[in-house]
Amino acid sequence: MTRSARRTRRTLQVAGAGAAALLALSACSSSDDSSTGSDSSTSASSPDKLSGTVTVFAAASLKESFTALGKEFEQEHPGTKVMFSFGGSDSLAASITGGAPADVFASASPKTMAIVTDKGDASGTPATFVRNQLEIATLPGNPDKIASLKDLTKSGLKVVLCDKTVPCGAAAQKALDAGKLKLTPVSYEQDVKAALTKVELKEADAAVVYKTDVNAAGDKVEGVDFPESADAINDYPIVQLKDAPNAEAAEAFIALVQSADGQKVLTEAGFLKP
């Protein structure tokens, strides 16, 4: 009698432990790399005093400038911490609509921003805070003498583009269409940094990427401007998310990005003013 009761209890314990392990696993996978939530209880009595973590999901092309802005934010508001998740705008948007706990979303195109706003996950209307222009990235010293977008169509040249599903690829296609050019790349890369890396590693001779990425890569690549890029300028919208765990800090971070200080950091990185 007691024995079977004990056995049942133990079974329940084991089952409970198994369920807990499963829950822990699923919790891990859904919360990704951000660990907000716990310290988001900002007291309403002192709105000037920000605290806790603000989680920013931002397009891969914003990595360098936003990292700098994050440091500035932490200095201005002691006690706060800015966590970033950089990646392809599409995958970030998918994570947000999938329930990732983020405060701010900055994407590389209105189209990817629309994925989030259409689902009702944004609080307020997205604001365009910068624009970005394409540039050709070539090997240092430009050994293939690339001077225009048309030069990329030369045979024997290994060119990589972003895939048409991500903003930099869509923009490159727009520029090619504007110049009535047809270009067969060796690869369609999954985001702008992957395309640039192929040139940095000298596996490809050229890539069509953002001006800001060429700047950020320093002397590992050389940039070539081309007039068709004017027809394919990307707007970058930023928005506070509806379920933001730290709404006040999110608001302050967006304000910093739009402030004169923030704009200075962004234009220095090669972004255009909206």
Size, binding site for another protein by CB under 8 A: 29
Q: Shortest gap between Cβ of 11 and another protein (angstroms)?
A: 4
Q: Which is nearer to another protein, 11 or 41 (CB)?
A: 11
Query: How many alpha carbons lie under 13 Å from residue 19 in its C-beta half-sphere?
Result: 6
Q: Which is nearer to another protein, 118 or 203 (CB)?
A: 203
The alpha carbon dihedral of 25, 26, 30, 31 has a sign of negative
Residue 182 tokens, joined = 């047809």
Distances (CA, A) of 232 to 74, 109, 189, 215, 224: 34, 11, 18, 19, 15
The answer to whether residue 24 forms part of the interface with another protein (CB under 8 A) is no
The answer to whether residue 98 forms part of the interface with another protein (CB under 8 A) is no
Q: Which is nearer to another protein, 163 or 228 (CB)?
A: 163
Residue 227 tokens, joined = 């007039």
The answer to whether residue 30 forms part of the interface with another protein (CB under 8 A) is no
Q: Contact, 239 vs 127, CB < 8 A?
A: yes
Q: Contact, 195 vs 69, CB < 8 A?
A: no
Residue list 161-180, contact with another protein (CB under 8 A): 163, 165-166
Task: Give the C-alpha separation, 225 to 216, whole Å.
Answer: 16
The answer to whether residue 7 forms part of the interface with another protein (CB under 8 A) is yes
Q: Which is nearer to another protein, 160 or 217 (CB)?
A: 160
Task: Give the C-alpha separation, 262 to 274, whole Å.
Answer: 13
The answer to whether residue 190 forms part of the interface with another protein (CB under 8 A) is yes
The footprint of another protein (CB under 8 A) covers 7-8, 10-11, 14-15, 18-19, 22, 88, 90-91, 94, 158, 160, 163, 165-166, 185-190, 198, 201-204
